A and B are shown apart, each in its own frame.
Chain A
Amino acid sequence: MRAALAKASLVRHRARTVLAILGVAIASAMLLDMVMLATGMRESFRELLLTRGFQLRLAPKGTLPFDTDATIADVSGITATLRRNPDIREISPVLGGSIHVPIGGRDVSASVLGIDPSVQGDYELQSGRDVLEADAIVVNDRLLRALGRRIGDTIRVATGYDPQTRSYSGQRNLVITGTVRFLYGASDQSGSAVRRETLLQMNAQSPTRAGDRASLFMVRARQGADAEQVRGWIEAQLPNVSAISIATAIAQVDQRLSYFRQLAIILGAVSLFVGFLLVTTLVTVSVNERAGEIAVMRAIGVSRSHVVEQVVMEGLVISLVGALVGLALGLVTARYLNSILSAFPGLPMAIDFFLFQPKAAWSALGLVIASGIGAGVYPAFRAASLPISQTLRREAIA
């Protein structure tokens, strides 16, 4: 009967109830989005780092991978050192740089990675073949479009370009053997990859880039090995590198994104509070309007606890329905906002700002429902505490 009465009082002012549910839905959607935003980038980044199973990255001391142009010298020596650790299964040195392709009087530039195709963890082949030969190059779709070439075409590629003299250095003819999608590449970035030996040969003419160098080592530990232990071992063995595990990378990302997360938490809390106030206001107004009815219910023997239950149920229903609508609304808005933010220049395409995680969604839903129950408590106790005779007298006069 209490559920029927709660439903009855909500149905009585349909438009008002619908508006309140809509308000709670918007607040819930905002809360869900903020929860997704607070943890989304971090989780998305973690998933991205683990995509190819490399748990460790080695960068020049004090830097993050590809944060600067700094490189690590003596790749062969470092590789030999790393191979001494039985917990290390694969080592993938990567050399970053840029390439220039003269096409019809203009210069098309792009980033390039020098990799070992058998152990690389930077891209996925989409079509054609990988860089199996020394004169092979794979490119992403954006670069292929900019070049106006197709798989199988040969292009003249340089690793150096002087815009003042319009002269190229480190030139070599390379055959486009395939198209790839770079895992860490931005959507607005033209990218390519060649074998690291090829890039080293092309860089040999440059006094600053010559030598057996790498910008980064990606290291895959043996299954069951403690990545943190391996990291410690590497840092002890190789004082010129920073070994970054997934955990330390996440910690650094966390540090850099902390303001972002704080903002999301504050906005989420504000949304929750707005929803709470909305439900409290609506239920309080409803209780005030029904003061006479409630006093009569009490007079005919309805207990205080049952009045409290009925009013709390009203707040709960508004919050529950609002939260469910908000869940759907939040997912739609998150998807839309994600598409806008992911197009931000320089960000890896695979990074999601709003990552749906069921646990986070249920937490948000739970918070909204709990706040709905809390929101009904004040008007419920107000309703249950109405002095029966005085309320009836007031109603009679009114």
Chain B
Amino acid sequence: MNAPSPIISLRDVRRDYALGAEQVHALQGVSLDIDRSDYVAIVGPSGCGKSTLLNLIGVIDQPTAGTVTIDGRRVDSMSDREATQFRLRNIGFVFQRFYLMPILSAVENVALPMAEAGMSRGERVDRAAGLLSYVGLANRQRHRPSEMSGGEQQRVAIARALANSPALLLADEPTGELDAKTGAEIISLFQKLNADGTTLVVVTHDEDLASAARRKVHMRDGKVVDG
């Protein structure tokens, strides 16, 4: 039996950036492989480089040095246009603050990436409704974010992340703004997603969320120290 192929592969990745007059070495030679359909939690103290690593995997940032390969494609030197298309088709993002469009309804928020991908209106409404049902919000489709709880908003954000059936779902502190009970619902939803075949990479301080992952990657001072 063959070993599962890595969907994410980072080699000697460094990321430096300027913070005022100071040069910050956010990542210092990170090498990491994540297998397809894996569920990985990246943990570590604040400022250790977790979010920077997630941004590089999500192709919203580029490394100062090293290579990043996702699903067999080098993404570390993509043009903005290529990177945008790649994110649209292959990556779903979930953020700590949900970042839903306040004036759009739940179904419209979920349909937003589908419209960008050129899906027809009827098709995207059907698919967005299906995704909202999947995350347990079948009865909240027409509600706006301001009419929903934090947990519900995060579930809408997860449905939006799944809009174009991405191979990879990235989440940055997805339970950071939720109470323990609502956080647990999100953890359970992530497990369901992973069980259905989605590769998940989660950056978190939340011990419960990290424990739910199949694998933990520990970081410190811009380096992977364990995992």
Residue positions of A touching B, CB distance < 8 A:
1, 4-5, 8-9, 11-12, 292-293, 296-304, 306, 388-390, 392-393, 395-396
- The answer to whether B112 and A300 have CB atoms under 8 Å apart is yes
- The answer to whether B84 and A293 have CB atoms under 8 Å apart is no
Give the contacts of B89-127 with A (CB-CB under 8 A).
89, 91-93, 95-97, 99, 101-104, 108, 111-113, 115-117
Per a CB cutoff under 8 Å, which of A4, A9, A300, A306 touches B160? Answer: A300
Per a CB cutoff under 8 Å, which of B85, B103, B108 touches A11? Answer: B103
- The answer to whether B103 and A12 have CB atoms under 8 Å apart is yes
List B contacts of A8 (CB < 8 A).
Answer: 101-104
Known A303-B116, A396-B97; further 5 A-B contacts with Cβ < 8 A: A12-B103, A300-B160, A301-B113, A389-B61, A396-B51
- The answer to whether B84 and A296 have CB atoms under 8 Å apart is no
Distance (whole angstroms) from the CB of B25 to the closest CB of chain A = 16
Interface of A is mostly: helix
**Taking CB as reference atom, which chain B residue is nearest A391?**
B60
List B contacts of A300 (CB < 8 A).
Answer: 87-88, 92-93, 112-113, 116, 160-161, 163
- Cα-based distance from A296 to B172 in the complex (angstroms): 12
Chain A CB within 8 A of B165 CB:
no
**Taking CB as reference atom, which chain A residue is nearest B62?**
A389
Give the contacts of B58-103 with A (CB-CB under 8 A).
58, 60-61, 80-81, 84-85, 87-89, 91-93, 95-97, 99, 101-103
List A contacts of B55 (CB < 8 A).
Answer: 388-389, 392
- Cα-based distance from A301 to B165 in the complex (angstroms): 13
Give the contacts of B29-46 with A (CB-CB under 8 A).
none
Q: A4-B104, A389-B61 are in contact. Are A292 and B88 (CB under 8 A)?
A: no
4 shortest interchain CB distances as A-B pairs: A301-B88, A8-B103, A1-B115, A389-B61
Give the contacts of B121-173 with A (CB-CB under 8 A).
160-161, 163-164
- Cα-based distance from A65 to B174 in the complex (angstroms): 86
Distance (whole angstroms) from the CB of A294 to the closest CB of chain B = 10
> 21 A-B contacts, Cβ less than 8 Å apart?
A1-B111, A1-B112, A4-B108, A5-B104, A8-B103, A12-B102, A12-B103, A292-B97, A301-B85, A301-B87, A301-B116, A301-B164, A302-B113, A303-B84, A304-B80, A304-B81, A388-B55, A388-B60, A393-B51, A396-B51, A396-B97
List A contacts of B112 (CB < 8 A).
Answer: 1, 297, 300, 302
List A contacts of B51 (CB < 8 A).
Answer: 393, 396
Distance (whole angstroms) from the CB of A353 to the closest CB of chain B = 45
Per a CB cutoff under 8 Å, which of B17, B81, B99 touches A292? Answer: B99
- The answer to whether B95 and A392 have CB atoms under 8 Å apart is yes
Distance (whole angstroms) from the CB of A15 to the closest CB of chain B = 15
- Cα-based distance from A190 to B46 in the complex (angstroms): 91
- The answer to whether B99 and A306 have CB atoms under 8 Å apart is no
- Cα-based distance from A249 to B148 in the complex (angstroms): 73
- The answer to whether A306 and B101 have CB atoms under 8 Å apart is no
- Cα-based distance from A12 to B101 in the complex (angstroms): 10
Per a CB cutoff under 8 Å, which of B61, B97, B111 touches A388? Answer: B61
- The answer to whether A296 and B104 have CB atoms under 8 Å apart is no
- The answer to whether A303 and B81 have CB atoms under 8 Å apart is yes
**Taking CB as reference atom, which chain A residue is nearest B103?**
A8
List B contacts of A299 (CB < 8 A).
Answer: 58, 60, 87, 93
Distance (whole angstroms) from the CB of B103 to the closest CB of chain A = 4
